[in-house]
Amino acid sequence: MPSTDPASPTDRTTALSPTDRTALGRHSERGKAERRELYDVLDAGVICHIGLLMNGAPRVLPTAYGFDPDGPDQGGTLYLHGSVAATSLRAAPEQEMCATITHLDGLVLARSAFNSSMNYRSAVIIGRPRLVTDPAEVTLGLERVVDQVCPGRWAALRDSTRKELAATAVLALPLHEASVKVRDAEAGDDASDVEANAVWAGVIPVSVQYGAPVANSDCDLPVPDHVQARVS
Amino acid sequence: MPSTDPASPTDRTTALSPTDRTALGRHSERGKAERRELYDVLDAGVICHIGLLMNGAPRVLPTAYGFDPDGPDQGGTLYLHGSVAATSLRAAPEQEMCATITHLDGLVLARSAFNSSMNYRSAVIIGRPRLVTDPAEVTLGLERVVDQVCPGRWAALRDSTRKELAATAVLALPLHEASVKVRDAEAGDDASDVEANAVWAGVIPVSVQYGAPVANSDCDLPVPDHVQARVS
């Protein structure tokens, strides 16, 4: 349920981690405090992994997402979509779920297995999603998902048909209860391992690359600017 | 518990999806049938997302993994590791968990929002992990995790100390109950949208790039072959 006045944009400096569940245990020094940093992690991604209970056991599924920092839910709104026929989405509004967005930024090769690590940015959002029923918000949610994948794409597409909308479920997860964790550093080795100077240590940077667009076999139109912009 | 004879390597053509839980619902045509295809998805990755129940609600966390197709569990073994102090890992052996590995291969830009999609390879593994207690298997599990991140790295590192091993938990998840789903195709549009010829359609390839290794500030050794091989 919307719990803040949609006319009041979310304060991006609001503290994250308002509950015990999103307080970091291990490596709490990697935690980020500001809501703005959650939006930064969301901004940079294309897929999230959602966690749901299915017949009492956790299931983790990759899916697209979109978000609106000023959406109607407390802290803003994460939008998820799927077929109305998808078991996972049908079950979702009746239970708590988790959505995790992870960017792998580097392989941290320390001099020992124990100190080996990764550089990453990850956001964990916990909450009870609502099924979006307002037609305007359904459309907005789908627009957010489409434009998260390729900014500017939504404006290039025809309107969704009634039949398509009837076949699509949109879920809204509040961004209120969330944590952000970032590691961005070189390897941290034991002094004795550094002194031994026996093993190379460092970071292999990891990034996501978007390659040159490949037109459909049934399409002879030129690559539009919004697609080119995603790649550049 | 080990449920097959470790002396009998897993048959890579064994059918996947032995249970209702891993039978695909939506887009079952994207399902892969052979165990070999599960190993291919695992081979290509560096992190997985694990799903656990924490205080009754699902939690999804990114983590490193390693695997052994001929490991002691049915279907082979997925190895996960973490601090013995990590709440998530401490809770794990008492409950079912899910491990999902996803590779995003392309943004599929169709002429409609409805037909827009992604190309991907994903594996979902469900099971009850066991806490590895045999010292030899603990070491093997850690080796698998380290070498999954950077093949050949393990051999370059010093042995783990007793203190390090005491601080590390290794979990083994059977690869028995698993599904693999792959989409690898151009956009599938409605005939009327193709005919209208109004919107560019195609695929933006997505790949993970490993950049040039950056040596630690306290390391002046040359980049070793096993690190260079990860990047090349």
Residues 1-20 of B with CB under 8 A from A: none
A29: closest CA of chain B, how far (Å): 15
B141: closest CA of chain A, how far (Å): 12
Q: With an 8 Å Cβ cutoff, are B160 and A83 in contact?
A: no
Higher-confidence residue of A52 and B20: namely A52
Q: With an 8 Å Cβ cutoff, are A49 and B222 in contact?
A: no
Q: With an 8 Å Cβ cutoff, are B57 and A98 in contact?
A: yes
Task: Tally the residues of chain A.
Answer: 232
pLDDT band at B19 (very low <50, low <70, confident <90, very high): confident
Contact (CB, 8 A) for B33 and B109: no
pLDDT in tens, B165-213: 999 999 999 999 999 999 999 999 999 999 999 999 999 999 999 999 9
Q: Is B202 on the interface with A (CB under 8 A)?
A: yes
Q: Where are the domains of chain A?
A: 20-231
Instruction: Kindly tell me if the per-residue pLDDT of B5 is higher than 60.
Output: no
Q: With an 8 Å Cβ cutoff, are B104 and A198 in contact?
A: no
Local structure of A8: helix, strand or coil: coil
- A-chain CB neighbours of B41 within 8 Å are none
Residue range B56-62: average pLDDT?
Answer: 93
Q: With an 8 Å Cβ cutoff, are A52 and B62 in contact?
A: no
Q: With an 8 Å Cβ cutoff, are B100 and A52 in contact?
A: no
- The amino acid at A34: E
B7: closest CA of chain A, how far (Å): 28
Closest residue by Cα to residue A144 from A33, A48, A213, A22: A48
Q: With an 8 Å Cβ cutoff, are B109 and A53 in contact?
A: no
Q: What is the reported pLDDT for A56? A: 87
Q: With an 8 Å Cβ cutoff, are B112 and A199 in contact?
A: no
Q: What is the reported pLDDT for B147? A: 98
CATH class (in words) of the domain with range B20-104+119-185: mainly beta
Q: Please give the backbone phi and psi of residue B107, each rounded to the nearest 5 degrees, phi first.
A: -95, 120
- B-chain CB neighbours of A57 within 8 Å are 21, 96, 98, 126
Task: Tally the residues of chain B.
Answer: 232
Cα–Cα distance measured from residue B162 to residue B168, given in angstroms and rounded to the nearest whole number: 10
Give the position of tokens 């590192």. B157
Give Cβ neighbours of residue A28 (< 8 Å, ≥ 6 apart): none
CATH class (in words) of the domain with range A20-231: mainly beta
Q: How many CA atoms lie less than 13 Å away from A58 in the CB half-sphere?
A: 29
Rounded to the nearest integer, the mean pLDDT of chain B is 91
- A-chain CB neighbours of B62 within 8 Å are 49, 100, 102, 104, 120, 122
Higher-confidence residue of B83 and B158: namely B158
Q: What is the reported pLDDT for B30? A: 81
**Residue A216 vs residues A149, B104, B107, B118: alpha-carbon distances, Å:** 18, 19, 12, 14
Rounded to 5°, angle at Cα A194 from A193 and A200: 90
Q: What is the reported pLDDT for B22? A: 82
Q: Is B198 on the interface with A (CB under 8 A)?
A: yes
Per-residue pLDDT of chain A (232 residues; tens, 9 = 90+): 334 444 455 677 777 766 888 888 778 888 888 899 999 999 999 999 999 999 889 999 999 999 999 999 999 999 999 888 777 777 677 789 999 999 999 999 999 999 999 999 999 999 999 999 999 999 999 999 999 999 999 999 999 999 999 999 999 999 999 999 999 999 999 999 999 999 999 999 999 999 999 999 999 999 999 999 999 8
**ipTM tops 0.90:** yes
pLDDT in tens, B95-141: 899 999 999 999 999 999 999 999 999 999 999 999 999 999 999 99
Q: What is the reported pLDDT for B67? A: 98
Q: With an 8 Å Cβ cutoff, are A52 and B64 in contact?
A: no
